[in-house]
Structure 1
Amino acid sequence: MLRHCVAFGIVPIEGLSVTPNVRVVATFIHPIKACAAVELPSVTIDRWGAAQGDRRWAVINAEGSVTWAGEFPRLVLVMPELLPQGLRLTALDQAPLDVDDADLPPRTIGIWNDLAKRVDHFTVGDAGDEAAQWMSEVVKAPVRLVRLGDDAVGRDSTNRLHVVSTVSCAEVDELLAQRGLQAESLRRCRPNIVIEGLDAPLVPFIEDHLTQMRWQCGDGMVSMKFTGRSIRCVVPNVDTRTGEAQPVVLESLTTLSAQRWPNEAVSFGIYGRATPGARLDRGQPVEVEFGF
């Protein structure tokens, strides 16, 4: 970390915070957990501090539990489009399918609670047999699409906003290129907010040390408080164009993470929660604070 601090012009004194010029360059939501991202011109913060509409839908496996790209990598091929009332699903050569979110029949599902190390159960809306068949054909396994209720979306074990910087993505992509892979770490690592330096580039992985981000919204200032580094699993291995897993990606993230955090879990990016009701626009200048 000393090398990064010196390059950024920061004396690495514990508790020091700085506010360089930074702006937001991209905002994403993932309407369906584990499926493709949708880039938006702005995100509105919901009552739990997350991006409104992010991971409001999920896919369950044959056992009735919410699944992920680690179990079914081809989920990343499903590209949702937001409709006034529901979603439009597209993928590869599949005919598009519109899913209405009104009057969905109830179903009980399980969601793994990583904090409590247990499965929690929730009542959700089932998107129906046609959507289940469509999703199953893409995934090549029996799955169903469900819409989560407020209790499932607002559960305490959920991380809210995932933030990365463009320069950190470039650092990852450079290593991936050296190992024969095309650069697409931004899509593989599934952020909600992407930032970059306004007057000068940020130092790679400086977002590890973010403590707060503030910006002007309406007549006042709103903020995002950061809650911890994003610990990486096998999901970044999945090629978002083919749905195939490439273990060299997580190996590369492990190499870069160990340079910053030796003997700790592999991380890339950081999680935060923002002021409910705030809006964050692409191109928005923000003030950031770092703690070391």
Structure 2
Amino acid sequence: MKVHSLFVYPVKSLSGIEVTSFHTDDFGPVGDRRWMIVDDERRFVTQREHPELARVETQLDGDRVVINIPGEGEFGLTASNDELRVLVWRDWVKALAGLREASDALSRFCRKPVSLVFMPDSSFRRVDAGRVDEYRRVGFADGFPFLVTNTASLAELNTRLEVPVEMRRFRPNIVVEGADAWDEDHWQSLSIGNNRLSIVKPCSRCVMTTVDPSTGLKDAAVQPLRTLSRYRRTGEGVIFGQNAIHESPGLIRVGEPVTVNQSE
């Protein structure tokens, strides 16, 4: 087994970036989901209600995040010194407001008032304490620093679909190849180079999997979520991929070997 591909998502719910390697820090992949979009009630905004956000591209210019908004142009994201509390799922978190130019352009694109916010190092959002005893942090990701998926599981799903889908729909950080389909259900931990990841829980999927990442439109003819629900529904929900946490900062590269500890 080895790492097939790697992705980072600088802004929650905007397009991801495929990379050949990434460093990890306390939050997870460096820079992953440190930015987020909120509405005028400071609640998080995602592709679930605004699928068109898939069309907003992200780039990295050194440590700086740049977004390209259709019809508006490119904007470098810069955090101000203005602190505010924002809501991501059930967590109210300290954040810094982004400068207004990018937020105003994104508001015009979404046709509603939205703002870009940044999670600074001084903010601490804890991963689900019901799943992880250690006092570990996460950025604006849904709940855990990593999502790991398996190319064979996608291939198996695609045999059941009239139109195959890309892995991009499932927004993983680490994609593994060389395992059998759905082997990830039994993984307890992964070693990738000098990095060790603990598998925390299966990832339950939502309507974002029905959004075409290239067009930002929901596909009526492509039904990965409905198809998965027929044979991948568990007490955790409709499952594709595994959420994970890491033991320490490191570097993960495409092509690195992956070894697995499995449950009984």
Q: TM-score range by the shorter chain?
A: 0.7 to 0.9
> Alpha-carbon deviation of 1:129?
1.9
What are the ranges of 5 or more consecutive residues in structure 1 without an aligned counterpart? 1-21, 114-119
- Hey, which of these two has a bigger chunk of helix by percent? 1
Shift of 1:233: 1.6
What residue identity is the alignment partner of 2:101? E
Distance 1:35 1:155, change over 3 A: same
> Could you tell which deviates more after superposition, 246-255 or 232-241?
246-255
SS at match of 2:201: strand
TM-superposed CA distance for 1:189, in Å, is: 0.5
CA separation of 1:32/1:264 partners in 2, compared to 1, >3 Å: closer, same or farther?
closer
Q: Let me know the Cα RMSD of the aligned residues.
A: 2.0
Structure 2 partner of 1:8 = none
2:255 is the alignment partner of 1:283: yes
Q: Does 1:255 align with 2:230?
A: yes
Greater mean deviation of Cα atoms: 85-94 or 162-171:
85-94
1:144 equivalent in alignment to 2:115 = yes
Aligned residue in 2 for 1:233: 206
Deviations 1:14-70 (Å, cap 9, x if unpaired)?
Answer: xxxxxxxx100111111111111111111222124x212111000001211112211
- Equivalent residue of 1:267, what SS? strand
2:216 is the alignment partner of 1:243: yes
CA contact (8 A) 2:69 2:109 kept: yes
Rate the CA distance shift 1:83–1:104 in 2: closer, same or farther, 3 A: farther
Larger of the two Rg values belongs to structure: 1
Structure 2: distance between partners of 1:153 and 1:74: 30
Deviation string 1:134-167 (CA, Å, 9 cap, x unpaired) is: 2123323221111112365642232121000111
Is this contact kept in 1: 2:204–2:236, CA < 8 A?
Answer: no
Equivalent residue number for residue 183 of structure 1: 165
**How far apart in 1 are the matches of 2:84 and 2:230?**
42
Distance in 1 between residues matched to 2:116 and 2:247, nearest whole Å: 30
- TM-score, L = length of structure 2: 0.86
Distance 1:266 1:215 in 2: 27
In the alignment, the residues of structure 2 paired with residue 264 and residue 128 of structure 1 have an alpha-carbon distance, to the nearest angstrom, of: 38
The structure-2 alpha-carbon separation of the partners of 1:194 and 1:153, relative to structure 1 and needing over 3 Å to count, comes to: farther
Name the SS of the counterpart of 1:271 in structure 2. Answer: strand
TM-score normalised to the size of structure 1?
0.78
CA contact (8 A) 1:214 1:286 kept: yes
Contact 1:51 1:160 in 2 (8 A): yes
Query: Is 187-196 or 64-73 further displaced after alignment?
Result: 64-73
Is the contact between residue 5 and residue 176 of structure 2 (CA under 8 Å) also seen in structure 1?
yes
What secondary structure is seen at the aligned counterpart in 1 of 2:89?
A: strand
| Partners of 1:188 and 1:236 within 8 A in 2 | yes
In structure 1, what is the Cα distance between the partners aligned to 2:258 and 2:93? 37
Superposed displacement of residue 255, structure 1: 2.1
2:131 corresponds in structure 1 to none
- Unaligned 5+ segments in structure 2 are 129-142
- Higher strand content, 1 or 2: 2
Share of identical aligned residues, percent?
26
Query: Partner of 1:59 in structure 2?
Result: 37
Output aligned runs, 1:55-204, within 5 Å: 55-101=33-79, 103-113=80-90, 120-150=91-121, 152=123, 154-157=125-128, 158-176=143-161, 178=162, 181-184=163-166, 186-197=167-178, 202-204=179-181
